[in-house]
């Protein structure tokens, strides 16, 4: 035991050890913040998925009800554009701005009967 104490006498209060410890802590903190920032982006928030589901709901209601969509005339934050891309293919763009002024745009392509 005395032999072990003789070889393991390392001073614990050196400045070099403190600098190395702070460097290691800083690197770990940087990695943790980078992972946190990558995971919690606006595209992973619940509000984003709520807005995306709202746009999908509007599109499917538009397919069921045709031109009499209940949201289109009432909501100034909703824009629906239809255009013919090719004969038989129609593009429907739904633009929706939510309460946080995030503008969500989604395009749907529908194949018709060659009109």
Residue 100 in domain: yes
Q: Check residue 10 and give its pLDDT.
A: 60
Domain assignment present for 31: no
Contact 97, 103 (CB under 8 A): yes
Per-residue confidence (pLDDT) for residue 38, from 0 to 100: 80
With tokens 């589901």, the residue in question is 53
- Considering the domain boundaries, does residue 34 fall inside one? no
Helices (H) and strands (E) in the chain, counts: 4, 3
Query: Would residue 97 count as lying in a domain?
Result: yes
Contact yes or no for 79/71 (Cβ under 8 A): no
pLDDT at 68 over 60: no
3-class SS of residue 40: coil
Domain count, the chain: 1
Q: For residue 62, give its domain range.
A: 45-66+75-111
Average pLDDT over residues 66-79: 62
For residue 25, what is the enclosing H or E element?
A: helix 15-39
Nearest Cα neighbor of 97 from 85, 106, 88, 89 is: 106
Task: Identify the residue with better confidence: 74 or 37.
Answer: 37
């Amino acid at each position: 035991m005395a032999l072990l104490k003789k070889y393991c006498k390392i001073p614990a209060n050196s400045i070099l050890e403190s600098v190395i410890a702070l460097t290691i802590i800083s690197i770990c903190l940087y990695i943790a913040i980078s992972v946190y920032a990558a995971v919690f982006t606006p595209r992973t928030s619940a509000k984003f998925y709520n807005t995306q589901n709202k746009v999908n709901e509007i599109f499917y209601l538009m397919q069921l009800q045709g031109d009499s969509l209940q949201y289109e005339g009432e909501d100034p934050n909703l824009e629906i554009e239809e255009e013919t891309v090719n004969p038989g293919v129609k593009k429907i763009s739904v633009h929706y701005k939510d309460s946080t002024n995030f503008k969500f745009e989604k395009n749907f392509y529908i194949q018709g009967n060659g009109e």
